[in-house]
C-alpha cells in the first residue's frame, strides 16, 4: 500500500526528482518489481515451492524489469 | 502457516498457465516500452489524458483483494471454511469495484472520443487493460467457485489444491496490474 502511494506520488509530477524522467521511471519500475517479487514469494507462496519454480519466477522478475529499463533508456530522450 | 518446502501452491497445470501468462504479458510490456521509445512525445501526451487516480485506486483494490485471499487460504487450511468464504467474498467485492472503476474510466474515454484507433498509445491501453479486465472477470468466477466450495459442509483438506490454484490465479491478476499501472499511467 505504501509502495503504491509512493508510485502515485512519483508519477504525479513530484518535485523531488523534478524533470528527471529517467530517475522517476527507474524508481517506479524498481518499486513495481519489488512489489511483484513480494506478491510471488509471499502471497503466491512460491517461497515454499521447489527451487525450479522459485528460480523461474526470479528470472522473470529480473529479465523483464531489466529489459524494460534497458529499452526505456535506449528510447528515452535525455532528461 | 503450515507450509513446508517443495510444496507447489495448487495444481501444477495452473502454474503452467500462470507462467505462460507472465511470459506473454512480459512480452507485451517490452513491446510497449520499445514503441514508446520511437515516439515519446505522443505517448506522454496521450498518457496525460488518463486519470491516475482511477489507476491508483484500482491498484489498492487489487492489493486489498490479494490480502483477503491470503487470509482466506489460511482460514481454509485451518478448516475454517465459513470464515474463508467471507474473506473470498470481500476479495470478490474488491474485484467488482475494480470492474466498476474500469467501466467508468472506459466510459469517460469513449465519451471524449478516445478509442482503440485514436493512436498507438490508446491501442495498447485498450488491449492491455481489456485483456487484464478479462482476467479479473475470470478471477471473479474462480472466487465465486471458491466461496461455494468453502461454504460447503463437505469442504475438506483435499480441496486445498483447488483453493491454492484459484488463489494463485487471483494473485496473478494483482501482479499484472502492479506493472500495468506504472507502465501506462505513470511512466515519464
User: Would the CB atoms of B26 and A63 count as touching at under 8 Å?
Assistant: yes
Residues making up chain B, counted from first to last: 188
Q: What is the mean pLDDT of chain B?
A: 95
Kindly report, residue by residue over B58-105, the tens digit of the pLDDT.
999 999 999 999 999 999 999 888 999 999 999 999 999 999 999 999
Please report, rounded to a whole number, the percentage of residues in chain B having pLDDT higher than 70.
98
- Give A2's pLDDT tier (boundaries 50, 70, 90): low
pTM of the full structure = 0.91
Please tell me the total count of domains within chain A: 1
Cell readout for B68 is 483477503
d(CA A39, CA B168): 10
> At how many degrees (to 10) do helices B120-151 and B40-47 cross?
50
Task: Spell out the residues 6+ positions from residue B8 whose beta carbon is closer than 8 angstroms to its own.
Answer: A49, A50, A53, B15
Please give the residue range of the domain that contains residue A38: 2-75
User: Would the CB atoms of A74 and B37 count as touching at under 8 Å?
Assistant: yes
CB proximity B5 to A under 8 Å? yes
Which residues of chain A are at the B interface, by a Cβ-Cβ cutoff of 8 Å? 1, 4-5, 7-8, 10-12, 21, 24-25, 28-29, 31-33, 35-36, 39-40, 42-46, 48-50, 53, 56-57, 60, 63-64, 67-68, 71-72, 74-77
How far A62 CA lies from chain B's nearest CA (Å)?
Answer: 11
Ordered structural domains, chain B, with CATH: 12-186 (1.20.120.80)
8 Å CB contact between B33 and A70: no
Kindly report, residue by residue over B114-149, the tens digit of the pLDDT.
999 999 999 999 999 999 999 999 999 999 999 999
8 Å CB contact between B115 and B89: no
Amino acid at each position: 500500500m505504501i509502495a503504491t502511494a509512493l508510485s502515485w506520488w512519483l508519477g504525479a509530477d513530484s518535485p523531488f526528482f523534478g524533470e528527471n524522467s529517467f530517475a522517476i521511471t527507474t524508481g517506479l519500475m524498481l518499486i513495481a518489481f519489488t512489489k511483484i517479487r513480494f506478491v510471488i514469494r509471499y502471497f503466491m507462496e512460491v517461497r515454499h515451492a521447489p527451487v525450479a519454480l522459485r528460480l523461474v519466477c526470479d528470472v522473470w522478475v529480473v529479465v523483464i524489469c531489466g529489459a524494460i529499463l534497458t529499452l526505456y533508456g535506449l528510447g528515452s530522450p535525455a532528461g | 502457516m503450515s507450509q513446508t518446502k517443495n510444496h507447489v501452491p495448487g495444481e501444477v497445470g495452473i502454474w503452467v498457465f500462470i507462467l505462460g501468462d507472465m511470459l506473454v504479458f512480459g512480452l507485451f510490456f517490452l513491446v510497449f516500452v520499445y514503441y514508446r521509445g520511437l515516439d515519446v512525445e505522443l505517448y506522454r501526451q496521450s498518457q496525460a489524458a488518463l486519470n491516475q487516480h482511477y489507476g491508483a485506486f484500482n491498484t489498492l483494490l487489487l492489493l486489498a483483494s490479494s490480502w483477503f485471499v491470503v487470509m482466506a487460504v489460511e482460514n481454509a487450511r485451518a478448516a475454517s471454511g465459513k470464515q474463508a468464504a467471507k474473506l473470498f467474498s470481500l476479495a470478490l467485492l474488491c474485484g467488482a469495484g475494480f470492474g466498476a472503476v474500469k467501466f467508468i474510466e472506459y466510459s469517460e474515454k469513449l465519451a471524449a472520443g478516445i478509442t482503440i484507433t485514436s493512436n498507438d498509445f490508446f491501442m495498447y491501453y485498450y488491449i492491455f487493460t481489456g485483456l487484464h479486465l478479462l482476467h479479473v472477470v475470470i478471477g471473479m468466477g474462480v472466487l465465486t467457485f471458491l466461496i461455494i466450495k468453502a461454504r460447503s459442509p463437505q469442504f475438506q483438506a483435499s480441496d486445498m489444491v483447488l483453493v491454492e490454484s484459484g488463489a494463485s490465479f487471483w494473485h496473478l491478476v494483482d501482479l499484472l496490474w502492479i506493472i500495468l499501472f506504472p507502465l501506462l499511467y505513470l511512466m515519464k
